[in-house]
Structure 1
């Protein structure tokens, strides 16, 4: 009996020793880099085995580096950029950015970069009133940035690349809980905070629920001042308040079937855009940094709702996946219309006393945007490669979507009718105001417009891999898509008076159809288990669309503008390597590319203030990317990522079509010549349960051009040359047990260089800067 007890005691002691050793090993830093799994090819794979240029940022790394916006991502990842496109209305606040990759940048027509939340497309067109949908970086497993055309698997608008936000999935095995809190202060601005919590609960062996919530407040740093005196009117106007709710459930009734319904909801409210002025209007005195001399603040409310149902079923033939989703975005925003509306109307007023009154009135542009999309994808993928089974692996699928976009535009000048009445004048009198309309200015409104887009598409797609040997295989891909776009427009009031005998009213309809087939070919050679070489040639495309009619008389046109514009496409050629050295303590991924882009979708602006999209001109882009990660010792991680892009027009057809400055050799707008980031993290051990770390990063963005050299008015473009700039970031912290405290600083040197000059008010006085130095502290934990 005693012998049995001794053996039991020894067994328990041995088990405890093994568990303690495992726990200590888990805490000790590994001397190897982590292997990264991606879903770029819509199946889980080692990123080093995928024949395309990919950057991956893990969810924990996003938090650790305090990367919170699209702008942050573009400074951390090679050859991706954000820009203030769409006539200057984007790039200066939440939900207003245009994203480009590898020089494929456009503010006209359809998007050039696909945005996905898991398997759900959230891409919207380049519309003047909104930018890309921007989900908050919350409860993410990782973000994948896929460079180069991804049309075979991701369809239209992925011609430059695709960004995928992959959320954490419900865990059927373990209960999980985590929280994160953060407080910070911005130099010259307000205080900010963020708090979130995530809880995962398995129920039995078949069901799991995952729920996460987040609330955030950014204090703002731009002050509104009087446009005549510069006196302070309101501090920290560009505040941002947001809330996020994420719910997912996974049900696995059998080992072959999983059903995952999920809902993502996000609301972002901003107090103003992130644009300041360099001086008071009309050539007034210079202003300090981050002050805006305007009458009207420009708030916004951006709401995302993304419910989906994903079903995975493993069959002997292959794995079947069905993704049913609904994507809705409601984006209401206000623009300061004083410079465009009050001045634009004032110059048409003949009575000088009334003109002076109108010049002094504030004006607003109220924009109500809504996007609703239903989509369905069904695909089947073969099992992973097995030389004993078949030299082929494959995937085939169908996709269909129905997207409706509605835009309502009201542009009032409050007090306008009162100004007429105070002088006893009529707004319909042609001796008082040029070209009046019979309805005058109902509710002080100078313009009303509604645009209704209906975009429908159906696609068939497939990819096949043939293995000549276990280490050498070729990929063949093809996607064919049919699409129809309808546009219905209504317009009314004074600024809709096209002088074509419509007395301010307009009701028009246009339609465009497209059919496109895009191929892909790639060759991948695994020289050994640590080194892969690849080459690819692929075609990317984006769908065309419809145009609203431009008034011929007002715009001095000899024929109607095109009713529609066609798809444009490009061919991209890429070679690259993905290598690991020194027992996986050093990784080097590099790629080089050449892109030939033709039949470009571009917007022609007319001197009358109207414009239309058309297909004109060619462009080429070439460059390279490199990402290096190293662990020279277990406690030190060094990373470098850099990209270079040279993107120019190949002909002068754009200028001939009415785009001043769009000549052969001109740089494509919104494309930095290079970007690079260097980061380091050093880990320290204080005792068996307490660890410390120090992180630092320097991020460089090269010079670029915000547009062509001259504006449609033939005046010099103030946003033509955008300078290079650098941002420094640092953090340090301590972790003990399941908790971690970090002190961090963003824009450590308080770089206040003007990096873009968006032309929101059609003046040269507007400036977009990096947010001033922000210092904060965070606390996180796992329950």
Structure 2
């Protein structure tokens, strides 16, 4: 559904959840977190954290990481460089306005203890895990470099799966069906089994899920005839297996495996010059994104210290097709000189070449092996010591392979039909036999390798049980290499080269936490964030010469440097009236230096990365929950971010629009939400009703004011639901986007075509959850 491409943040932290046979309480639920790599009350942690439980995700019908932007303040999405909002798996998640479509990622992504963070490599975006068998999702705002390493500049998102239970046998199912206005049906079905194999020693947890998101966009031809209905459909399947073995009271070994396959039939863009929700395209744009993450975690209580070892592997295979007609075919036609201008090509041939269909086939694969060891003291005990600490080491080796082929279908026969040989150098400058094998205009193979090693640690000193200081640091070394080979006509003279870059960083953190009383905490923190540098993809000077000259260089830079930031934060976390009211709030200021940005070359449609400019982001977040009456839960949450460039260095380096005061792209200025839920009984059956509204502020989709997507409007949406639990069955009816908000939240221009994106139209559905 197009919310996956909304690239904006919606914010609501819903207090209601609908686990089957849920126990009612007059207190606000406290969700413990592992933000500091040990389980603790988030109210005692010196950082801004949102923790959303699996039951909340189910109640909100949240399916994936993009939908998470509806329930957490100050998260946004931006299309990866060159994508134009191209669909699932191609966007980058940002926190607190730390948004960059170039270089390394700005937010760390963890699935359990497995890091699945990938860089902005060749139009590939973040890994997007589905919310399946999840205990909670933790969103850690602010730099997390000390404990989570490079790329966690804006923050870290942790997907914490449910662990196998050594005692209780349990079977749960969840099914959902709905229909989208003007489109097709949606459905979801999952089943999870928890099986104790040896009581209190060995348990197995297994789960499977299948989902279908219906489309509402139709493909049409040049005459407006419908060629295919509901093309933006998405199918996904998930499988999870986890084994928990506790051979000793002090030792736990947990191997696990997660597999996910997302099959998108097309992107959710429609043409603004056509009737609503119609897309005229010569080539469909499907994708298949597969994720595999096996891991083994060992926890050993060694007496005075706890040892944790996490060995993980992840593999992502992401195959996708882009409609390259507006790029490749048109670009090739510009190299033909018309007979009217003294050339050899008749105008009809130029027009015919420009109108040919072309595809960009991208076959991406990422593989990573990672190992982390850490030792931690036991939690603070004033009778034992005023110190607590954690220390560890981390190693990773990531390989990314990208294969690209750009056929222009029928190009050779088109030249022949006009009596020309496509290898004629007088007709097509630089052409020779073999530069369009099987009509392929570009062929590229790129291999990225990134190796990291680091040591890290944090120390807490308690001046008193209510007051403690935290000092942490990480030292990181990394090496990145890029080997590339490309050829065929649109690659210019072709290229076969490699580049190697090295990075190192020291990222400290300082915090002070004061527990004024057991229910009120204030804190302040200062932390540094860091991103690795890297090598650039080759830019052919033969086809990009004029663009490069306009930027004052004769060739694309071989590499780009790391960037970094300093974040300053003050916050408070309070609970009142017997934990019937909770108020969390914070303010932050971030100074970001030497930003990695993509420099787009408009004539040849290439992009390279450069360090161009500095920025500041500042703002606040709040989260208020209350249970004023028995059964009634109210919540309000939101955030404000002012994210702007602070100098003109980007413009000087060729980034159009990168001037002082320019708003960083993709970041809404504010988001806010109100939610109310009421729990009651009908004939002794637990029941509920719930309503939520979300508001998202305006944003800029580009730094360049001349782009059609420069100004993105503010918008809002409303969700409604109601349900009843009868025995082991929980029935729910729901409406998403109840008032069918159809604001055009994006309108990027792809070549001469202006595309539109909107929230998914209103959907009405029914779900059934069971637990035995």
The correspondence of residues 600-615 of structure 1 with structure 2, limited to 5 A, is 600-607=595-602, 608-615=604-611
Q: 1:201 aligns with which of 176, 191, 195?
A: 195
Once the two structures are superposed, residues 623-676 of structure 1 have per-residue CA deviations (whole angstroms, 9 ceiling, x without a partner) of 000000110112011111110000111100110111121101111111100011
Once the two structures are superposed, residues 240-298 of structure 1 have per-residue CA deviations (whole angstroms, 9 ceiling, x without a partner) of 1111000000000000000000000001111101111101xxxxxxx222211111110
The equivalent of 2:383 in structure 1 is 388
Once the two structures are superposed, residues 40-88 of structure 1 have per-residue CA deviations (whole angstroms, 9 ceiling, x without a partner) of 0010001111110001111010010112233321132111111224123
The equivalent of 1:510 in structure 2 is 499
Deviation at 1:691, TM superposition (A): 1.5
The equivalent of 1:445 in structure 2 is 440
Correspondence 1:484 to 2:479? yes
Instruction: Give the Cα–Cα distance (whole angstroms) in 2 for the partners of residues 46 and 397 of structure 1.
Output: 22
Larger radius of gyration: 1
Deviation at 1:774, TM superposition (A): 0.9
The correspondence of residues 652-731 of structure 1 with structure 2, limited to 5 A, is 652-688=648-684, 690-710=685-705, 716-731=706-721
The equivalent of 1:734 in structure 2 is 724
Instruction: Give the Cα–Cα distance (whole angstroms) in 1 for the partners of residues 123 and 80 of structure 2.
Output: 11
Deviation at 1:609, TM superposition (A): 2.8
Instruction: Give the Cα–Cα distance (whole angstroms) in 1 for the partners of residues 156 and 745 of structure 2.
Output: 25
Instruction: Give the Cα–Cα distance (whole angstroms) in 2 for the partners of residues 763 and 117 of structure 1.
Output: 40
- SS of 1:661's equivalent in the other structure is coil
Residues 145 and 153 in structure 2, CA contact (< 8 A), matched pair in contact too: yes
Deviation at 1:768, TM superposition (A): 1.2
Residues 681 and 696 in structure 1, CA contact (< 8 A), matched pair in contact too: yes
CA RMSD of aligned residues (A): 1.3
Instruction: Give the Cα–Cα distance (whole angstroms) in 2 for the partners of residues 401 and 763 of structure 1.
Output: 43
Instruction: Give the Cα–Cα distance (whole angstroms) in 2 for the partners of residues 646 and 763 of structure 1.
Output: 32
Q: 1:130 aligns with which of 117, 124, 135?
A: 124
Residues 153 and 530 in structure 2, CA contact (< 8 A), matched pair in contact too: yes
The equivalent of 2:159 in structure 1 is 165
Deviation at 1:431, TM superposition (A): 2.9
Deviation at 1:92, TM superposition (A): 4.1
The equivalent of 1:22 in structure 2 is none
The equivalent of 1:400 in structure 2 is 395
- SS of 1:555's equivalent in the other structure is helix
Once the two structures are superposed, residues 432-464 of structure 1 have per-residue CA deviations (whole angstroms, 9 ceiling, x without a partner) of 323313313111100001111000000100001
The equivalent of 1:99 in structure 2 is 93
> TM-score, structure 2 length as denominator?
0.94
* Greater mean deviation of Cα atoms: 526-535 or 675-684: 675-684
Instruction: Give the Cα–Cα distance (whole angstroms) in 1 for the partners of residues 234 and 668 of structure 2.
Output: 28
Instruction: Give the Cα–Cα distance (whole angstroms) in 2 for the partners of residues 442 and 602 of structure 1.
Output: 34
Instruction: Give the Cα–Cα distance (whole angstroms) in 2 for the partners of residues 548 and 30 of structure 1.
Output: 57
The equivalent of 2:13 in structure 1 is none
Q: Which runs of 5+ in 2 are unaligned?
A: 1-20, 337-344
The equivalent of 1:618 in structure 2 is 614
Instruction: Give the Cα–Cα distance (whole angstroms) in 1 for the partners of residues 394 and 435 of structure 2.
Output: 49
The equivalent of 2:7 in structure 1 is none
The equivalent of 1:323 in structure 2 is 310
Once the two structures are superposed, residues 308-365 of structure 1 have per-residue CA deviations (whole angstroms, 9 ceiling, x without a partner) of 0000000122110000000100000001111111211122232333223323321111
* Greater mean deviation of Cα atoms: 255-264 or 730-739: 730-739
Once the two structures are superposed, residues 360-385 of structure 1 have per-residue CA deviations (whole angstroms, 9 ceiling, x without a partner) of 32111100011000000000111000
Correspondence 1:776 to 2:748? no
The equivalent of 1:112 in structure 2 is 106
Q: 1:235 aligns with which of 207, 224, 229?
A: 229
Once the two structures are superposed, residues 412-448 of structure 1 have per-residue CA deviations (whole angstroms, 9 ceiling, x without a partner) of 0121122122233211112332331331311110000
Residues 585 and 632 in structure 1, CA contact (< 8 A), matched pair in contact too: yes
The equivalent of 1:752 in structure 2 is 742
Deviation at 1:28, TM superposition (A): 6.0
The equivalent of 2:185 in structure 1 is 191
Correspondence 1:464 to 2:464? no
The equivalent of 1:743 in structure 2 is 733
The equivalent of 2:321 in structure 1 is 334
- SS of 1:319's equivalent in the other structure is strand
The correspondence of residues 196-595 of structure 1 with structure 2, limited to 5 A, is 196-205=190-199, 206-226=201-221, 228-279=222-273, 287-349=274-336, 350-497=345-492, 502=493, 505-553=494-542, 554-556=544-546, 557=549, 558-595=553-590
Change (3 A) 1:27 1:706: closer
Residues 88 and 758 in structure 1, CA contact (< 8 A), matched pair in contact too: no
Once the two structures are superposed, residues 153-202 of structure 1 have per-residue CA deviations (whole angstroms, 9 ceiling, x without a partner) of 00010000011100000000110110000111101111111100000000
Deviation at 1:560, TM superposition (A): 3.8
- SS of 2:332's equivalent in the other structure is helix
Q: Which has the higher contact order (CA 8 A, sep 6+)?
A: 2
Change (3 A) 1:28 1:545: closer
* Greater mean deviation of Cα atoms: 675-684 or 426-435: 426-435
Residues 92 and 768 in structure 1, CA contact (< 8 A), matched pair in contact too: no
Correspondence 1:67 to 2:51? no
> TM-score, structure 1 length as denominator?
0.92
Residues 595 and 611 in structure 2, CA contact (< 8 A), matched pair in contact too: yes
Deviation at 1:737, TM superposition (A): 1.3
